[in-house]
Amino acid sequence: MTETLVIQTERFGELSVPETDILHFPEGLLGFGDRKEFVLVQEAAYAPFLWLQSADDPHLSFVVVDPLTFVPDYKVEVKPAEVKSLDLDDIEKARVLVIVVVRDDPEQITANLQGPLIINPDKGMGKQIVLLSDRYHTRHYILREAEASNEEPSSGPTEESES
């Protein structure tokens, strides 16, 4: 039987979360290396956005979203070592999310497309990687991108070759 953990949060109050829903980020997130356990919280009113809530710090949560929602041609190349560190047997099974900064003016909402979160949903493991491409930015205006594009979403992350 799955154990349920009670997580105290500033935004959502007390959450009862199945232990299997905890995401372990062994290296933490950039700037928050000491916070290693998180849970995704979905509130219908905020769809398609989710909250990445720290299981250790009630005051720490991030708004996240699947980048394909706003940037249909978004591609993440994940290094073989990163795939291995997430215990992924198939990179296509990874879930990719990006951290969003929400502002009062929706036109000013940005997403960090250069530092995506790669999650192995089967193992409950995650890692924030830094893309070396100059194609994406840490402050990408997602609504502007969505308005400019009518393309179909790509298939998601791909594994880099070891060359």
Q: What is the pTM of this model?
A: 0.86
Q: What is the pLDDT along the chain (163 residues), one digit of tens a residue?
A: 679 999 999 999 999 999 999 999 999 999 999 999 999 999 988 899 999 999 999 999 999 999 999 999 999 988 888 888 999 888 889 999 999 999 888 889 999 999 999 999 999 999 999 998 889 999 999 877 666 655 444 445 566 655 4
CATH topology of domain 4-159: BH3618-like (2.30.290)
| Cβ neighbour number for residue 152 with a 10 Å cutoff | 9
> For the chain, what are the domain ranges?
4-159
CA–CA separation, 52 vs 36, rounded Å?
Answer: 12
Q: What is the 3-state secondary structure (H, E, C) of the chain?
A: CCCEEEEEECCCEEEEEEHHHCEECCCCECCECCCCEEEEECCHHHCCCEEEEECCCCCCEEEEECHHHCCCCCCCEECHHHHHHCCCCCHHHCEEEEEEECCCCHHHCEECCCCCEEEECCCCEEEECCCCCCCCCCCEEHHHHHHHCCCCCCCCCEECCCC
